[in-house]
Amino acid sequence: MSVTGSRRLLMVVASIAFSLAAGSVQAQTRAETLRYVTGASVNTLDPNIPGSTREAFAVSLSTYDRLVSFGRKQLNGKWVFDLGKITGELAESYEVSPDGLKMTFRLRKDAKFQDGTPVTAEDVKWSLDRVVTAPVLGKAQLLTGSMTSADQFKVIDPLTIEVTLPKPDKLALPNLATVYPIIFNSKVAKAHATADDPWALAWLKENTAGSGAYKIETFKPGEQVIMARNAEWNRGTADKSAFFKRVIVQSVPEPATRANLVERGDADLVIDLQASDVQSLEAKAKLKVISTPQYNAVTFVSMNNQIPPFDNVNVRRAIAFALPYDDMFKAALFGRGSPLFGATWADGKPTSGAYPIPQPVKLDLDKAKEYLKAAGMPDGFSTTFSFNVGQASTAEPMAALVKESLAKIGIKVDIQKLPDAQMSTQINEKKLPFFTEGIVAWLPSTDYFYRNFYTGNQRWNYSSINNPELVEIAQKARFEPDASKYEEDGIKLNAIHFSEIPQIPLWQPSQDAVMASSVEGYTYQFHRQVDYRDLNRK
Amino acid sequence: MQALGATVVRAGRRFLSSLPALFGVLVFTFLLMRVLPGDPAVFFASGPNAGKEEIEVIRKQMGLNKPVPEQLMLYLYDVGSGNLGRSMMTGQLVTKDLRERLPASLELTFTALLIALVTAVPLGVLAALRPGSIIDHGVRFFCALGVCVPTFVSGLLLIYVFYYLLGLAPDPTGRVDIFASLPPRRTGFLLIDFLLAGDFDGWWAAFRQLILPALSMALFVVAPLARITRASMLVSLGSDFVRTARSVGLPWWRVVVTYALRNAILPVITIAGIVFSTMLGANVLVEKVFSWPGVASYALDALLSSDYAPVQGFVLLMATVFVIVNLLVDILYGIADPRVTIG
């Protein structure tokens, strides 16, 4: 063997040994890494920036802490967030005064920002002031909890902060657990504030200054975010740092590719697969599939109550009895969700004051024809049915079924598929007569739903209903301290909803989280994203 | 030397004369975006509590509260000073987004075009040498197949076979394995950056990521290139100078390559230029399927959400690329056939 030959051999052996060693190191870190793939993308590191995406919410809840967070509970054997149980995150303890007008938070003494400085009440005040003062998304959110002015937040001592309310508001405390009132390191943020931008919106969009469980390693908007664990963080449920050393949030636009990735074990978790893929993955039983009905979300068929012929309640009733609910549920969602149709209400009264509840409607063409006759339109009419491109995979089969079924009672439907921005614009301008859309509420209580989605001439009032009685009851219920009276108000609201049928609730789609069988701790969160801090690998 | 200088001067003049066209594209896209139905402010104010106030904030942020002529003047001023605006979708400056994403698209398109040319030209030549034979029909069949199958179908098929079933290809998510470290950014072309950094494992990893998307794009464009090569070769092979070359007993490869092919290559270059520009803008499906962080999928996402600045920036970029590619094609003409000059 020549000299060059033996050297070459040596190099080959060395490179094989090297690659084997590298392989085992990689395998080790792989187990401690969570790779989460999604069709959406993260566009800001501060969820308060107008236009921020839902994926951005999930990232910021890992990089920042809030004063308080929601506990979790089991619902039909699956973990979901618990609106009724609020635990401290940066707050060690909190108390609400007996009259409900004062909330006092005592901060954890050991809480530190990622730069090592302690978290003080000053930081909390700056962060809360920012949410209610700066032009950010959190402003409208905290308004729903009666927090509107910086005067309401008072520093008592370096570790105590007090929030005063004008009225005892049930939603004040839960509001502090939503994604907007996260606590910033005010010294760092102020150092990057400018005269034009006193709240450092521009800097915090690209950088973080928090105390959360993860630090940002790489942030490529629209592509990926890689986060590394903050070993100092101890605000988790078991007083220890998060499990995964690294979290990779990667945008993979094609749903079939996401399904392949998780099936091959290259990705650990995905929550936005197509229903058909979820079904086949579930059948193969290699992966863990956790389907949670999104109990704070509802999908509707909406009608604009101000545009003829939908201003006639009998037309709306006719539609409600002419929809092929079961077929739609199967075709659109493959039955993955909880239906809001086909209920029986004893003596026609709502079964509960919760929202939403299953409605006593089903496909009954004879009844639908009678209602049409009562509306003075026995021969039907023509209209359009719109949905947005982003929801085409569920809305398209649904629209075809709606068209087919309504044709049987003489209503001619033209299907309109609109780009997302166009659809939201037309809804905002109240131009669509008949369409499908969904809603979601972070703090799902009956009065909240009715106040936000059935009141006023605003975008989220899809049906444009204007019913003074409904508005009055909903406003009163907001500050109703007595649980049984609140339930009564809820039943009244649900009864008005059914007699007016401003829009038709269809179902609550499931959130299908598909994960490697080793991943545990998944909890359905109010923001409908994954809280990476919940997860571990066994 | 003098000839080269003259070419450069002519190319420069040619570029200057295309500036009015670019300006037209700029204004036209600007107006078109504003005419399209769909209000970006409403779309981006989609938080659970976003009301009128949030919509106004976004409208102001995007400068949409001003009258359209004023917006246009401001936009032209910004473009003149090298600022294409800010994307609402990614929250970044459009110039930054495009600078990050254009090399990804270019790398993919170049590779695909290279694969396509290396396959299509020999196929076309073979088919032309034996017109009507089984080879000719075979080539025709292959081309028809390539054109019939849309790129996203061939892309998904390739993924299914090579990634999902065989496990030969790496996961189809972007330009490099997510766990690998990136080379220092010099050109933005990963294959070049890895080479410059001397990281051959990295180069191999990037190459493996690139090969499937490049193949599925190449399959689609082999057909026009092979067909045009065949047609042009047939003309060239039937011409007098080839008959003369054959009659004086030159070796067959010399006849085919040096005399016939060189004369037949002009239309192929033209088509290749057009194919390249089209691929760069229209490979959005491939980019989507392979999660390729390129400009086309970026522009499509922006268009769906009526995000004005990125769409306008993208169209301007594509127009510029088109101008440059046409210029290059003209220069290549001169090299392929010295009788051609650009002017």
Residue A136 pLDDT more than 90?
no
Q: pLDDT at position A11, please? A: 52
- Asked if B310 contacts B94 with a C-beta cutoff of 8 angstroms, the reply is yes
- Asked if B296 contacts B310 with a C-beta cutoff of 8 angstroms, the reply is no
pLDDT > 70 in chain A, percent: 94
Helix (H) or strand (E) holding A30: helix A3-31
To the nearest whole angstrom, how far is the Cα of A26 from the nearest Cα of chain B? 8
d(CA A348, CA A367): 16
Choose among B38, B97, B174: nearest Cβ to A421: B38
Q: pLDDT at position A8, please? A: 55
- Chain A residues with CB-CB distance to B43 below 8 A: 420-421, 424-425
pLDDT > 90 in chain A, percent: 62
What are the pLDDT digits (tens) for B267-316?
Answer: 888 888 888 888 887 788 888 888 888 898 888 888 877 888 899 999 99
Q: pLDDT at position B86, please? A: 85
Q: pLDDT at position A53, please? A: 85
What are the pLDDT digits (tens) for B127-170?
Answer: 988 888 898 999 999 888 888 888 888 888 999 899 988 888 88
Q: pLDDT at position B48, please? A: 58
pLDDT band at B3 (very low <50, low <70, confident <90, very high): low
- Asked if A518 contacts A538 with a C-beta cutoff of 8 angstroms, the reply is yes
A401: its two tokens: 């079924």
Q: pLDDT at position B46, please? A: 65
Q: pLDDT at position A54, please? A: 87
- Chain A residues with CB-CB distance to B305 below 8 A: 420-421
pLDDT band at A4 (very low <50, low <70, confident <90, very high): very low
Lowest mean pLDDT among A220-234, A281-295, B40-54, B116-130: B40-54
Residue A20 pLDDT more than 60?
no
- Chain B residues with CB-CB distance to A424 below 8 A: 38-39, 42-43, 46
Q: pLDDT at position B49, please? A: 62
A451: nearest CA in chain B?
B49
Alpha helices, H only, chain B: 2-17, 19-35, 40-44, 52-61, 68-80, 94-129, 134-148, 151-158, 190-197, 200-237, 240-247, 252-253, 262-282, 284-289, 295-304, 308-336
Residue A395 pLDDT more than 90?
yes
What are the pLDDT digits (tens) for A346-391?
Answer: 888 898 999 999 999 999 999 999 999 999 999 999 999 999 988 8
d(CA A34, CA A269): 8
- Asked if A273 contacts A281 with a C-beta cutoff of 8 angstroms, the reply is yes
Identify the residue with better confidence: B74 or B55. Answer: B74
To the nearest whole angstrom, how far is the Cα of A266 from the nearest Cα of chain B? 7
Q: pLDDT at position A148, please? A: 92
Q: pLDDT at position A514, please? A: 95
CA angle A62, B297, A216 (to 5 degrees): 20
Lowest mean pLDDT among A11-25, A317-331, A484-498, B233-247: A11-25
Residue A15 pLDDT more than 60?
no
Using DSSP, state whether A320 is helix, strand or coil.
Answer: helix
CA angle B223, B171, B220 (to 5 degrees): 5
Mean model confidence pLDDT for chain B: 85
Q: Do B49 and A222 touch (CB under 8 A)?
A: no
Choose among A35, A144, A257: nearest Cβ to B159: A257
B55: nearest CA in chain A?
A50
pLDDT band at B2 (very low <50, low <70, confident <90, very high): low
Mean model confidence pLDDT for chain A: 89
